[in-house]
Chains A and B, each alone.
Chain A
Amino acid sequence: MTFPVEQADCCRIVRSLALPVARVSVMSAELLQPRELPEERRRIAAEAVAGFFGLDDEEAFALAKPATYEQWAEHICRGSVGQGRTNIVFCTSGSSGPPVSHSFTAQELTEEAQSLAPFFADTKRVVSVMPVHHIFGFAFAVMLPRILGIEVVDRHPLPSEDFFRALRPGDLILAFPVFWKSVLDMCSGQRPPLLPPEIRGVTSGAPCPPEVIEGLLAARPDGAQPLCAGMTEIYGATEFGAVGIRRECRGIYSLLPHWRRVALPGPEGGEEWAIRREHGKPLPLPDHLAWRDERHFEPRQRKDKAVQVAGINVFPEQVAEVLRGHPLVADCVVRLMRQEEGSRLKAFVVPRRDTIAATRLMRELRRLTAGLEPAARPKSIRFGKRLPRTATGKAADWDINDGDAENA
């Protein structure tokens, strides 16, 4: 058993959880200490920390006192967390709808890390840009380094000089698809190279476009080494953690060793596949999977119609509902941009007739969606007299650069 969480890791997690309410300013990684925070913000940070570590009321109460993050971590590790007696709770983002929490026992998290470890046995160091309170950040930047006995380095998710300088040959970089795309865009054709040799990558949190992975692994035009020596894609979700792994882009996923496929009764007397841990109950997956055999699969579309933006599940229909809440919006549709358009949401809005100027409506819609978290805000909003349809009347995609759409 690799639990309990060590104090140094606990402090990383506490700081990561506090970041949204304690950063010195927008875009800053520097945090105000709990004692420097206004009471309300300190309470929000303390609740996030208590929720993550499953602290009881008495343990959580102590966090409300002004202190430092180091003191919070020390307090947490002296209690039930330090003895491995608590569950760790990961939350979905709540980008559209209330956040949902998923609780994991120490044993489940340890089994997951042990299951991943053989795939990364020769890793010497992990460099992570994933928050450590995210389920994959926790698995790869807390548990895995601990099991393998290797160093881990956290970096802000910005492809800065500081990030590139931190890298050493042979590092394993843990990042999400948007970050990998930025690395590819910045490194392509650059001399001297920004990445040292033999870098390997892990991507998780959302499907990574195959073009990005192929670009990272491709031989360089001048005969130089590929940007990355290997890329591992992790399939999973907050409610399960890591489920599958693949190292061949566009290939099939292998179910990780701590999972088994099981059949559940499906509609009309058929069967539906679920997965379960050795001693756990069957868990239905959020996606439709095409199974090749008991241990190999390909993900298809999500059952709940969520899409991923920067590793965060967002629900286009719920975002469309927000836009429809504006009195001057007759109808709208929200979709994920096509690969060549970007990686954010886009909206097509049909305004009510004889209303206000497009620029003013645009400003009001931007204001309306500003309350959503960044991943859920449509980056492109186009106006037209009717929603895009195919010749047969089915809902159609639209080009965000297409000037044909009629402005309001």
Chain B
Amino acid sequence: MEKNIRVLVANRPRLMRELVLEAFADQPDIEIVGEVVDDAEILASVERTHPDFVVIALENPGRRPTICDTVLRQYPEMRIIAVAPNHKYSVYYWASLKIHSHDVEASEESILSTVRNKTHSAGGPS
């Protein structure tokens, strides 16, 4: 049996975090390993919970969140999705020698599909 995908949810604002949790709630293959309110706690939470994926906030679309670099430098195998609360899209980040990114629609289907397809793959867009 394949093991569950471990996801750490660290979105802001609170409404977006709760709605991301709602999107993952009924997925039998996804396990929420933690919920982080403050970006400053993300790294410590990653160290503690060992997620496969971290879902964070994208405050300035077009600019990679600093926490993305911090996490991927220490955990290059980590996958990150940054969701812009007020925009149509989110961005998937992964590391392979350097940090790459790929735009994903900010929809339940696209985010779940990215989490499932990328957890055990090489990282790049399929």
Chains A and B belong together in one complex: no
